[in-house]
């Protein structure tokens, strides 16, 4: 028996990215869309910097993180000018200062309160740096209404948009959602469709806003999200492999 050499991490990630890109192209084609309309964000949360460097060297330019501290550490250690960081996790108001202007996009604005905190933080950073900074944000909508999910309700979205328009340093550029976990991705098609329809309504109501983006679709459901209009898919496991669950120590 000849032992096969182990597959390198790089070869594995390369194969995964190629597979995801092919799947994106196929889904786009099914929907009569161009694959170039869709940005693939590689979700690198919990993964080592080494994986990010490998993916970057393979051509990936968009990376998603869900914890501010972890993201800032990675940004400090690896900072090519053309790499775009996406904040995809909840931003607590007490972390707004750290989040402001540290990400190309913040996908997870889920209330006016969160938006205001971010506006203040961007203002502060603008004053400190002497630059006129603006932060691109998505509004996170909890379409499915699951209690465990973050995001504003679809019904609240128009009112919150109206308020956010008064915040000069935030630039709304679309909507984001996280679909429920299901066995069959077809089951969440209505969630993605509803986000697109909400976007279309908001576009009518607020024509001055750039409603270009729909950030929706993850490892288990991104082809369906693309068929329903996603312009940004956030894919972690299909690129970097399963995340190891860190068990919380049991309390005595
Ligand atoms: C972790 C995460 C993803 C990626 O999930 P995968 O199932 O690994 O593709 C996408 N979006 C958000 C908001 C996440 O927290």
Six-digit token pair at 146? 């699951």
- The three-class DSSP label of residue 3 is coil
Residue pair 76/58 in contact (Cβ under 8 Å)? The answer is: no
What residues are paired with 160 via a beta bridge?
A: none
- The three-class DSSP label of residue 151 is coil
- Class of the CATH domain delimited by 9-240: alpha beta
Report the separation in Å between the CA atom of 227 and the middle of ligand 1, taken as the mean of its atom positions: 19
Q: Residue ranges of the domains in the chain? A: 9-240
- 204-248 pLDDT, tens digit each: 999 999 999 999 999 999 999 999 999 999 999 999 999 986 555
Q: What is the pLDDT along the chain (252 residues), one digit of tens a residue?
A: 567 778 899 999 999 999 999 999 999 999 999 999 999 999 999 999 999 999 999 999 999 999 999 999 999 999 999 999 999 999 999 999 999 999 999 999 999 999 999 999 999 999 999 999 999 999 999 998 988 889 999 999 999 999 999 999 999 999 999 999 999 999 999 999 999 999 999 999 999 999 999 999 999 999 999 999 999 999 999 999 999 865 555 554
* pTM of structure: 0.94
Six-digit token pair at 175? 């909507």
Q: Is the CB of 235 under 6 A from ligand 1?
A: yes
Residue 100: which of 136, 64, 140, 131 has the closest Cα?
A: 136
Alpha-carbon distance of 88 to 177, in angstroms, equals 10
Report the separation in Å between the CA atom of 42 and the middle of ligand 1, taken as the mean of its atom positions: 9
Which ligand 1 atom minimizes the distance to the CA of 176?
A: 13
Residue pair 104/84 in contact (Cβ under 8 Å)? The answer is: yes
pLDDT of residue 5: 74
Q: What is the number of other CB atoms lying within 10 angstroms of the CB of residue 111?
A: 18
- Report which protein residue has its CA nearest ligand 1's atom 6: 236
Residue 20: which of 218, 250, 242 has the closest Cα?
A: 218
Buried b or exposed e, range 9-45, using 16+ CB within 10 angstroms: eeebbbebbeebeebbbebbeeeebeeeebbbbbbbb
């Amino acid at each position: 028996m000849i032992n096969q050499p182990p597959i390198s991490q790089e070869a594995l990630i390369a194969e995964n990215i190629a597979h995801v890109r092919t799947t994106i192209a196929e889904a786009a084609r099914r929907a009569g869309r161009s694959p170039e309309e869709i940005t693939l964000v590689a979700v690198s949360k919990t993964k080592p910097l080494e994986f990010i460097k490998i993916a970057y060297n393979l051509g990936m330019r968009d990376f998603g993180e869900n914890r501010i501290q972890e993201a800032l550490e990675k940004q400090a250690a690896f900072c090519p000018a053309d790499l775009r960081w996406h904040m995809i996790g909840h931003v607590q108001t007490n972390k707004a200062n750290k989040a402001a202007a540290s990400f190309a996009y913040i996908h997870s604005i889920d209330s006016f309160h969160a938006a205001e905190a971010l506006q203040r933080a961007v203002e502060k950073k603008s004053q400190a740096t002497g630059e006129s900074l603006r932060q691109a944000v998505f509004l996170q909508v909890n379409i499915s209404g699951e209690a465990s999910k973050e995001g504003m309700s679809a019904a609240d979205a128009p009112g919150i948009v109206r308020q956010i328009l008064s915040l000069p340093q935030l630039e709304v550029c679309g909507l984001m959602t996280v679909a429920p976990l299901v066995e069959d991705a077809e089951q969440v098609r209505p969630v993605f469709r509803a986000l697109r329809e909400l976007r279309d309504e908001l576009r009518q109501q607020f024509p001055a806003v750039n409603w270009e983006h729909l950030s929706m679709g993850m490892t288990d459901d991104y082809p369906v999200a693309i068929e329903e209009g996603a312009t940004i898919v956030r894919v972690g496991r299909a690129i970097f492999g399963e995340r190891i669950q860190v068990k919380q120590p049991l309390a005595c």
